[in-house]
Amino acid sequence: MVLHENTYRILFHDICILTIPMVRTGLFGRQNTVNTLLDISYSIQ
């Protein structure tokens, strides 16, 4: 049972390490897209 729990913890840790940077870059990418859209809409006005 203890070995099983450790395996799950390691898997969870790896998943977090892999997904957090993806989420961060995704958020930054969206933010940049919104900023460029705002810039375009301001320049049109």
Give the integer Cα–Cα distance in Å for 7 and 10: 5
Tokens of 25: 């870059």
Q: What pTM value is reported for the model?
A: 0.42
Three-state secondary-structure class, residue 1? coil
Structurally, how many domains does the chain consist of? 1
Q: Residues 1-15: what's their mean pLDDT? A: 82
Q: Residues 26-36: what's their mean pLDDT? A: 75
Range of the domain at 9: 1-44
Tokens of 29: 């990418």
24: confidence class by pLDDT, cuts 50, 70, 90: confident
Q: Residues 14-26: what's their mean pLDDT? A: 81
